[in-house]
Structure 1
Amino acid sequence: MPAKSKAQQKAAGAALSAKRGETPKSKLKGASKSMVDSMSEKELHDLAATKRKGKPEHASKS
């Protein structure tokens, strides 16, 4: 499943880094904090690997 926004892609990358042990979980903020526990490494990788070109900074709430 591709990321819907740049912010979602960045959060997935931060969560993936923490899941792999490269970044301490205590450094995570916001959505990435819940993503690290609720998603698998493969799911996080798929979100983080999404191309940013053409994506909005934040997804619309509607």
Structure 2
Amino acid sequence: MPAKSKAQQMAAGAALAAKRGEKKKSELKGASRSMEHSMTEKELEEMASTKRKGKKEHVSKK
């Protein structure tokens, strides 16, 4: 699933780094912390590799 915003893509990248052991899990906050627990490495990789061009900074909740 592709990221819907730059913020979501960046959170997925942070969660992926923690899952791979490149970053401490204790450094994660908010969405990246829950993503690390609930998503597989493959799902995080797909979301983190989404192209940023044309993405909003944040997506509003509806």
State the match for 1:31 in structure 2.
31
Unpaired runs of 5+ residues, structure 1, are none
Paired with 1:23 and 1:38, the residues of 2 have a C-alpha distance of: 17
With structure 1 as the length reference, what TM-score do the two structures score? 0.97
Runs of 4+ residues deviating >4 angstroms = none
Deviation track 1:1-60 (CA, whole Å, cap 9, x = no partner) reads 100000000000000000000000000011000110100000000000000010000012
Paired with 1:26 and 1:16, the residues of 2 have a C-alpha distance of: 13
Paired with 1:9 and 1:53, the residues of 2 have a C-alpha distance of: 12
With structure 2 as the length reference, what TM-score do the two structures score? 0.97
Unpaired runs of 5+ residues, structure 2, are none
Share of identical aligned residues, percent?
74
The count of residues paired between Structure 1 and Structure 2 equals 62
